[in-house]
Amino acid sequence: MDKDRIEGSANQAKGAIKEAAGKITGDAKLETEGKMDKAKGKVQNAVGGAKDAIRDAAKH
């Protein structure tokens, strides 16, 4: 598994927590930060998946 996939998953989890905390406390800035972290995590995860696919294709 690529490092980007691991970091991406962590950023998605962190973003979800921030977003939920922002909603609960009414902190729009925190909620927005959470959404941005989740989006960043999704991109990182996709990049890592592409790297894994390239590596797998190169092996065969």
- pLDDT averaged over 10-residue windows placed end to end, the chain, 60 residues: 91 98 98 98 95 90
Distance CA 28, CA 6 (A): 27
Q: Give the pLDDT confidence score for residue 2 in this predicted structure.
A: 81
Residue 16 Cα distances to 6, 34, 47, 57, angstroms: 16, 6, 20, 33
Distance CA 47, CA 1 (A): 11
Task: Answer left, alpha or beta for residue 44, where phi above 0 means left and psi between -120 and 50 means alpha.
Answer: alpha
